[in-house]
Amino acid sequence: MTSINFRSAIRFALREELRRDERVFLIGEDIGEAGGVFKVTEGLLTEFGAKRVIDTPISETAIVGAALGAALMGLVPVAELMFCDFTTTAMDQIVNEVAKKSYLSEGRERVGLVIRTASGAGISFGPQHSQSLEAWFMHTPGLYTLMPSNPRDAKGLLKSAIRSGKPVLFFEPKVLYPMEGEVPDEEELIPIGKCDVKIEGKDLTIVSAGAAVNTCLECAKKLKTDGISAEVIDLRTFYPLDSKTIFDSVEKTGKLLLVEEDVGFCGWGAEVAAEVAEEKIYSLKSPIKRVSAPYSPVPFSPALEKMFVPSPEIVYENAKLLANS
């Protein structure tokens, strides 16, 4: 095992896949000479050249459209959209083309591509560069949606996404780029569509994703000092959703807390809550509880942004109330 940061884990995954398969190439704004706005692709242009690390004009529609065309011709593009907020300028390509090509061709046209994009708040980039939009794409049949919470999953999930042969949106919580973590020295592929039970517990189930998982782990440590045993589950994949792992946990604990950085209204937590209510209502000892961002644009002010994102204190208070209910 080697300790590397989240940013490096993604870079290592890209480098290994570029070396492994000559069909793989990278495309996006400032990913070559500049090494990416978050320096994720730094050094890859030097190693692989401009035909496989392609700098583009500022046009998300063109980036996704070019990646789609390349995928249809048998290549394996990994497209970078600098911020997930900018997926909005490429919605027609992502939602109406990438997601539907296989369906419209009765499976004859295979679209194996990955769209990497930085998501979430935490570094005061303002309301147009700090959103969490994963729920939009969960709602679109034909797309896989992934979000790692640590360096090990960032590397292993990205490698699986590149090899999946599916259209994948890969959300990278930008606040995690400096995060250090242990990553295996040997190759590891993290399975798509499988939750990770980070901590086992018996008193309540806490489900989260991305950067919020680490908030929940911090909360679980504090709950332990109160004699409360929390089971923490990292979704890792929004679609396909691993409902079974969540159901099994709820059957054991009888209580469910959902923690998401996104706006709660129509967020991924609403879908998880609905599925648990439909399938495991009689296992619940208390109503499902959700902690999320308020129904508001992400504030630019660091002080307000800190209040916007669910904090360890807020998660702890809600988890303790639920556990004792």
Measure Cα distances from 133 to 88, 109, 260 in Å.
9, 27, 11
Cβ–Cβ under 8 Å, residues 105 and 173 = no
For residues 261 and 263, give the distance between their C-alpha atoms in angstroms, rounded to a whole number.
Answer: 7
For residues 260 and 262, give the distance between their C-alpha atoms in angstroms, rounded to a whole number.
Answer: 5
Residue 31's H or E segment, with its range, is: none
Residue of 7, 11, 129, 174 marked catalytic: 129
Exposed/middle/buried for residue 243 (C-beta within 10 Å: 0-12, 13-18, 19+): middle
For residues 232 and 24, give the distance between their C-alpha atoms in angstroms, rounded to a whole number.
Answer: 35
For residues 204 and 258, give the distance between their C-alpha atoms in angstroms, rounded to a whole number.
Answer: 11
DSSP secondary structure, 207-258, as one string: EE-THHHHHHHHHHHHHHHTT--EEEEE--EEES--HHHHHHHHHHHS-EEE
For the chain, give me the number of helices (H) and strands (E)?
Answer: 12, 14
Give catalytic status of residue 139 as yes or no. Answer: no
Active-site residues, by number, are: 129
